[in-house]
Each structure stands twice: as structure tokens, then as C-alpha cells.
Amino acid sequence: MAQQPEPSDWWRDAAIYQVYPRSFADGGGDGTGDLAGVRSRLPYLAELGVQAVWFNPWYPSPMADGGYDVADYRDVDPAFGTLAEAEKLIAEGLELGLRTIVDIVPNHVSDAHPWFRAALAAAPGSPERDLFHFRPGRGALGELPPNDWKSEFGGCPWTRTVNADGSPGEWYLHLFAVQQPDLNWAHPQVRSEHESILRFWFDRGAAGVRIDSAGLLAKDPALPDFEPGRDPHPFVDRDELHGIYRSWRAIADSYAEPRVLIGEIWVSDTERFARYLRPDELHTAFNFDFLARPWEPFQLRASIDATLAAHAPVGAPATWVLCNHDVTRTVTRYGRADTRFDFAAKAFGTPTDLPLGRRRARAAALLSLALPGSVYLYQGEELGLPEVEDLPPERLQDPMHLRSGGTDPGRDGCRVPLPWSGSEPPYGFAPAGVEPWLPQPAGWGALTVEAQSGDPDSMLELYRSALRIRRSAVAGEFAWLPSGREVLAFRRAGGFSCLVNLGGEPVALPPHGAVLLASGPPAGGLLPPDTAVWLQDS
Ligand code: NOJ
């Protein structure tokens, strides 16, 4: 039996399930997922075997960016339910052993947020505008944006305002969509407001927060033009961020069960990344390096090594993530000639071998669930849902798609509502006859929770078994085992080992006591290509 960590250290090796509330389950019958739907499906999550649930934003929002444009951080959007329901959900989850993690969006607010409305109504130079980044334009008439930065969603991150008399006014910064003005984190009121928001959710029982765009909050106050290679970057990974997160950590640690801070940090330098995970800063951060790597033995091994080496000195656990609401679904990505994830490389019409992708996704599940640290599962990953790539263009909502002029497929394809039961849309996601907010494809009948439950060969049962075994048998020291070039083989404490065959030929299994689980049937003592196995010493 593996050693269990301290209860307050649950986050060190937890399996955390990501719920995209809009697409999880529709309890209200209007085609949009909601908190009532989640509450009715909590037993499903408990049975799956996860320890916590991270919810994408559920706050009042005009939904210009799927809720990452927050109009009120202390309430729930009426489309999803009420604050009282969120409180019930948190409490009911706990009764089933599921902790709740809420999504905090500190870099920007919605343009419908009262602060931004007040700033627009106020004059240049006013205290209201100081909470954001307002600047006069360049050029003789101020007709050019204040600097040459690029939006994370493509295009210019500056939008010009209109003065009360109708004349063109100052510009404001939005690293994402026009509707997401960036806050000025050098302002004490911005800091105190977010500290109060943290307490608001921690006081309601949230076990932690996922911090959106956590590496982008601080900006060079001069807002200079971007010069490639210049250090520090004017808005990514700036040193000022560490003081912000230290103050958040003090708040998180002030609770009887300390709350957990999880950063969304896209910083490729693993040592810079690990600085956020020092003992008085964030607890963990998503491992995007691992997520973005191709299905390739050297690449995955290098990512695992770099991850473990960077985390060890700061004492933070690694995290393992295969997909989320922003990236191409795993079975689709792994079924392509180029199996990396890269926002810039996304394109319509990429050929995909889904059966191959599925085999690899099954093997990747066993790989990531056997590594030391915590692991994140994105809703539908456990069902092996593919990316939906033929959504009708007029139904697409993602600003990444819209701002690209329609060339970038965007992220709607990984946000399609879940199939729960039945053989046609809405597959139990909503009451029969109700059209989900994004259409589900025909042919998902075999992928529903109902169809997969009890089928030992299904993706769902693979995840259920893996999560169960992980809790009892996967813990302790990690060490690579000798293996062929195209095989990843490692052991954990207590005689557990994991082998993944990323090559084109079957490989022999090493001597072992028992096969605990395999992502595909081992044939005659051999591990087939694109297959993983968990073994136990005798
Ligand atoms: C990261 C979130 O995961 C993504 O969905 C969102 O669009 C951006 N941050 C902006 O908030």
C-alpha cells in the first residue's frame, strides 16, 4: 500500500477534473450547461475517482471570451445559476470528497465591469482610468496605438476610446479581446480588490484558485515598444509578479486548511517557471511544456526530466496536463502527422487518424497518471472526445477565431457539450429536443458516459481503473528504468512500474508479478506500439 500524504497536502498528488460549466451538463433545460447540471453529476465525478474539480469562470459575464471577461467577481452568471447554488455545489462536492477550485481572472476585467465603465465615463488622467492602462495615441493626432505590442489573440491590443463630445480619445490596453481591458497591477486598489476576491471564495469553501494568465499581470510602466530578446519582457514573467503572489500565499495560508494557488503560466524557461513555485508563492502551475510536446520518446523524456529537475529545488510537485479548454483535444492531436500543440500551427482541414490518436491518448493517460505530482483531466478527455472540427462557421464564438478573420479554427471545437446518454444530440446533456449552445456531432452515441460505462475496453473505464489504481499503488520516488530508445520505462515506490512503447514495433515486457492495467491488450508478452502498461513486481 502506498503512503498517503497529509490531508492538507492533497494538492501534491491530486487528480483534478476541469469542468467547463457551459458544456458539462444542462440542468435548466436551455441548452447551456449550469451549476444545477454539475450538482446532478457530482456522483459521476466522485465515481470517476478525482479529488478536486476546477471550474472555468462562472461569474456574470457578457461571454466575449467564454466567461474570461468577468463583470462581477463575487457572483454567478444567471445562465449558470446563483451564488447560493455555487455555495451548495461547493458543500455537496465536499461531502463526496471533491474539493472545488475556482478560476480567478486578475489580468483583465470585462468591459462591462463597473470599474471599466466608470473609467470610460471619466476624463483622461482621472483616478478611474488609473486602474487600467489608458494612454494617448502616437502620431500627430493620436491616431496610432501607444506601442507596437501584439494581442495574445492576434491583432493590436489597443483600442481607441471616444470622448464625451464624440471626438477620438485615449487608447486602452487589452492583451486579449477588445472586451477584456487589462488592469493596472501597479495600482494598490487593484491588488487589494483581488485579495478581497480571493478571501470571498476561500470563505465560501473554495479549496483553491486557478489563476488565469498569471504570468502577464505586471507591465513595464513605460509601456515601451517590444524589442525581441529584451530582458525583462514588457509584460511577460516580470519580477513584480512574485510580490503579488507572496501576498496571495499569505492569504491562502491563513486558512485552517490552507488554500491552494495554481498558476496558468506560459513561461518556457523551466527555471523561471519554477521561481513561481517557491515555498512562499504558488503551490503548483500547469505544465504546458509537457502538454505541447509531440508524441515522441525523446521529447517526452526530455520534458519529464526538465520538469522534475526544475521542480525539485523549490520542493513543488510537478503537474501533468494533456489538454484543456484552450487546446486541441488529445485524441485528435495525437492522430496527426504533427503531434505537438502549438496555437500558431492550428489550421482547418488537418488530416487526422482518430483510431491512432485514440490509442496514443490511452497510452498518454497511463503515462501522465503514473508520473509524480498532480494531474489535470479536462472534461471529455475521459470519454476520448475528439476535437469537433466541422462546427458551422456561424456558430463559432471564440475570439481567437473571430479576431483571426476566420483563419484560426479557434477553441470552440474542444468546448462542445458532453455526451451523457442516448444515440443522438443532445445526448442527455440537455433535455431531449433542446439545442445545445454549440452543436454536438452525429455519431457520438458510442462516446456517451452511458455507452462506455461497464465496457472494459472503453476510455472511460480505462480512466476509472487508472484513477483507482493510482490512489492505492502509484506513489513515492520516481526512477527511470533501462529501456530501448523508443520506450519510456520508470518505476515508483512499492514495485510499481510504467512502460510506454512509442516506437513502431512491439517490445518485450520486463519480468513482473502482475499487469495492473494496460492501455491496449499486450499480445503474447509483448507491448504493442503506442501502448502503455502498468506493472507490479511480484
Ligand atoms: C487563459 C484562458 O485559459 C483562456 O481561455 C482565456 O481566453 C485567456 N486566458 C484570457 O483570459
Q: Confidence class of residue 525 from pLDDT cuts 50, 70 and 90? A: confident
Q: Do domains 10-106+188-217+242-345+361-388+424-452 and 476-536 have the same CATH topology?
A: no
Per-residue confidence band for 5, with pLDDT thresholds at 50, 70 and 90 = low
Q: What distance in Å separates the CA atoms of residue 470 and residue 493, rounded to the nearest whole number? A: 12
Amino acid letter for position 126: S
Which protein residues are within 6 Å of ligand 1, measured from CB? 65, 68, 105, 176, 212-213, 264, 325-326
CATH number of 114-173: 3.90.400.10
Half-sphere exposure of 64 (CA within 13 A, CB side): 19
Kindly tell me if the per-residue pLDDT of 1 is higher than 80.
no
SS3 499: strand
The CATH code for residues 10-106+188-217+242-345+361-388+424-452 is 3.20.20.80
**DSSP assignment string, 22-73:** GGT--SSSSSS--HHHHHHTHHHHHHHT-SEEEEPP-SS---TTTT-S-S-T
Q: What is the pLDDT of residues 104-140, one digit of tens each?
A: 999 999 999 999 999 999 999 999 999 999 999 999 9
Ligand 1 center from residue 514 Cα (angstroms): 43
Atom of ligand 1 nearest to the CA of 177: 10
Assessment of whether the complete model's pTM goes beyond 0.75: yes
Q: For residue range 219-251, list pLDDT tens digits in order.
A: 999 999 999 989 999 999 999 999 999 999 999
Kindly list the domain boundaries of the chain, sorted by start residue.
Answer: 10-106+188-217+242-345+361-388+424-452, 114-173, 476-536
Asked if residues 169 and 123 have their Cβ atoms less than 8 Å apart, the reply is no
Q: What is the mean pLDDT of the chain?
A: 97
Task: Tell me, in angstroms, the distance from the centre of ligand 1 to residue 213's CA.
Answer: 7
Q: How far apart are CA 369 and CA 107, in angstroms?
A: 31
Q: Is the pLDDT of residue 523 over 90?
A: no
Ligand 1 atom closest to the CA of 108, numbered from 1: 11
Residue 255 has pLDDT above 50, yes or no: yes
Instruction: Locate the ligand 1 atom nearest the alpha carbon of residue 399 and give its number.
Output: 7
pLDDT at residue 396 greater than cutoff 70: yes
Average pLDDT over residues 198-218: 98
Q: What is the mean pLDDT of residues 278-285?
A: 98
pLDDT at 8: 83
- CATH number of 476-536: 2.40.50.700, 3.40.50.150, 3.20.20.80, 2.60.40.1180? 2.60.40.1180
Residue nearest to atom 2 of ligand 1 (CA): 212
Confidence of residue 7 (pLDDT cuts 50, 70, 90): confident
- Which cell numbers hold the place of 103? 478560476
Burial of 247 (0-12, 13-18, 19+ CB in 10 A): middle
**Does 3 have pLDDT greater than 80?**
no
Render pLDDT for 359-381 as a digit per residue (tens, 0 to 9).
Answer: 999 999 999 999 999 999 999 99
